Chains A and B, each alone.
Chain A
Amino acid sequence: MVFLEQLVTSFIASAAFVVLFNAPKEALLKCGLSGMLGWIVYFGLTYSGSGPIAGTLAASFLIAVISQVFAKRYKMPIIIFSVAGIIPLVPGGLAYDTMRNIVESDYNTAVALAVRASMLSGAIAVGLVFSEVINHVFRKPSINPGKMQQ
């Protein structure tokens, strides 16, 4: 029941959020799907006792893979789907909490929260980059004009 609730809300939240980023209409449902799958992996892992960092890493890796598949299939830039996917994962709430504690002069809590927020954003970034690296390794090397072989 909890999972069903999370599936539905994360789908709606991701699809609604990309409207604010002016995503093209035909991409909204796919964005929602990407956000939902990432969130359910994160939620399932944290629910079963793994830490939030491991959960975030696994989820953002999955999101990057899904985004690559979508990007290739629908001929759109990968950023549309990866942004939608990581929206539920980004530590926005933590960033806000950190700042609230700083403004209220509770610096110890604030530093702890800030470190957690940066660790989580690091995990998201590593997940995305890792999947890109794998994609590069396994894809046939394409003919790349100039630049790289300088």
Chain B
Amino acid sequence: METREMIYDVMDACLLAGKIMLQSGAETYRVEDTMTRIASSLGVELTHSYVTPTGIVFSVEGTRPAMTRLIRISNRTTDLKKVMQVNDVSRRISGGSIGLEEACSQLREIERSSETYGIWTQIMAAALASGCFTIMFLGGWPDFLPSLIAGGAGYYFVAFFHRLIPVKFFAEFVGAVVVCVVSLGFISFGLGNELDKIIIGAVMPLVPGLLITNAVRDLMAGHLVSGLSKGAEAFLTAFAIGSGVAVVLSLL
């Protein structure tokens, strides 16, 4: 039957998968679902998982006393590639094509890997998105270029300061200040017409729009703790950006 050692190994795999998914921004219910699914495919039925944005509690019933483990999540980003990779591993475990050991080693590899786009690609993408958002919010084409450059600069400074000082609030605040200063600079040089449209387009890569929606979704799905804490995180980010812009505008 199931030995305790084997159950511990299964729990390792489940927690690792859950940790990677949560750190990469997967939805709460999907993290719980994946962990339960991996456990039951590996032969451990009767599991409970409790997932919040800052930690996972995973418990296996069966041979008494029930085994429970906790894992702490401290930093969260959005990394859709890792979500996809963990999803693939989970699917292969369910399909029975890989066993416990191989699953563990694959998950560890996913955790270690950091295949991201280069920083300049990201900045260019942020700039392009900013410019396009200005047009989508019915700004005129003269506002496209200012927004493009302000958005790129803002994203660059957020990335730069985040590496320098690991306080998210501060990095976002500085990013918003940079966006506002650059936009004001363009306006005063006569490039661009509507300051508001330029700023809104340029801060779009920074604002927590996705977090807000995910928070509401979690609340609706009954994950009240996750929903509220994601909402708080979104509020803080929006506050940082709003105050960054407001500080510059009020200094005029």
Contact = CB atoms under 8 A, between A and B. Distances in A.
B27 A79 contact: yes
The majority secondary structure among interface residues of chain B is helix
Contact of B238 (A5, A96, A122, A125): A96
Interface string A69-101: 000000111011001001110111101111111
Interface in A131-150: 145-147, 150
B137 to A, nearest CB: 6
A22 B137 contact: no
Contact of B212 (A16, A27, A91): A91
Given A16-B125, A80-B80, A92-B204, 5 more contacts: A9-B132, A9-B135, A77-B26, A83-B210, A101-B242
Given A21-B79, A22-B116, A146-B36, A122 B216 contact: yes
A32 B94 CA distance: 31
A79 B83 CA distance: 9
Given A22-B78, A99-B241, A99-B242, A79 B213 contact: no
A62 to B, nearest CB: 16
A108 interface: no
B246 A103 contact: yes
Interface residues of A, number: 54
B196 to A, nearest CB: 9
Interface of B: 25-27, 30, 36-37, 40-41, 45-46, 78-84, 87, 91, 115-117, 121-122, 125-126, 128-129, 132-133, 135-137, 155, 200, 203-205, 207-210, 212-213, 215-217, 220-221, 234, 238-239, 241-243, 245-247, 249-250
Contact of B84 (A20, A80, A88, A129): A80
Contacts of B82: 22
A125 B241 contact: no
B210 A90 contact: yes
Contacts of A80: 80, 83-84
B99 to A, nearest CB: 17
A9 B136 contact: yes
A125 B216 contact: yes
Given A124-B216, A125-B217, A96 B241 contact: yes
Given A22-B117, A87-B210, A93-B200, A128 B217 contact: yes
